[in-house]
Structure 1
């Protein structure tokens, strides 16, 4: 029997959220993306839209322009240059967007409650934890509890990739038949992936460690 479509997913258009959308496709009624003023928003959103359409899922983009206008982060169009190097390097902390997941989850929770949806998914994963505090289990757990207690229909928040790596996610995606050429990771948001920013380096390593041929075109 087909599962009831009673869930929402926060989807950026990157590897992780696209994989989770296919992973949970049978229950997803709404794919929710945010335009918050990042350098790579336009690239990501195009792929979020593509996969939602392919799966026959309604796709909604919520503008959060105040973040790009008032918050400080090199990830934003209003910030400085995107640093190069691995995620675990000190310079990558400049790409933190303050409380980004908290804001997005709060909006998603209100939308889920308004739509009568019982569950929402977010695709944070273990590799994000080093520099992004709102990707850690220590944040997700109490945030999920606050959302459940603060919504009239007790919306559940599920983050099934919290304790796994991007390599693990890549393996899941390939098993699901996802073409990762149709996802976006690069923080610089150019015509093609730069190949040297933290998220490009992580993407390359995940593909290699998973034994997957990387379909991504890189500048370097």
Structure 2
């Protein structure tokens, strides 16, 4: 069995890398990252460092040059409004039901692209495609493309479109981020190399939704988050 991991350089997807390498060995794992115009493009260099740490093959897909996100009001993208601070629940309560950092159909786009990579890299072998979607992201429909329903539908489509060779694996779809971190700690995942913050810069902000979720997850496990924060 081969494995291909959609790795954003963050906690969840890097834990998926750790799981895949533990199950199948580094020589059978490829990681893929994507640039689609996000402000936090620091995640791309982190994903590369993580690939080097594990000794796995790594690719980067450039969607920004296609201008596919042009016209989006998503604050996560270059040129968008400032990133909101506060938890996802607080942001949802203050908004119109759609979180401002939702990137239009991002996971659908990325999963389709990575399934194509899987069929290119491993054309005649079965392959597991890992995504780090977890329950905190799907809660309250903050990110609908992280929900169990979405993952199940995409998994079916991917299998149908790849002769049944590519299987979508979302190990955290029913876990919160604390559960993700607990799993990763057992595998000695290098969380010091990861980047979660939605804002750009050299140090993670500590107050955006994903930073708050991350800090809460490490605290729940009784361990110190190994990355620094501005706040």
**Which TM bucket (shorter chain)?**
over 0.9
Aligned length: 215
1:1-220 matched pairs, under 5 angstroms: 4=1, 6-25=2-21, 26-27=23-24, 28-41=28-41, 43-65=42-64, 66-89=67-90, 90=92, 91=95, 93-115=99-121, 116=123, 117=125, 118-130=127-139, 131-220=142-231
1:145-172 CA deviation, whole Å, 9 max, x = no partner?
0110111353111111100011011111
Distance in 1 between residues matched to 2:12 and 2:62, nearest whole Å: 21
Gaps of 5+ in 1: none
* Structure 1 residue 86 displacement after superposition: 0.2
Q: TM-score if structure 2 supplies the norm length?
A: 0.88
Contact 1:102 1:143 in 2 (8 A): yes
- Backbone CA RMSD of aligned residues: 1.5
Structure 1 length as normaliser, TM-score? 0.92
Q: Which stretch has the larger CA shift, 71-80 or 124-133?
A: 71-80
Distance 1:122 1:72 in 2: 25
Counterpart contact for 1:37–1:67, Cα < 8 Å = no
Structure 2: where are the runs of 5+ without partners?
Answer: none
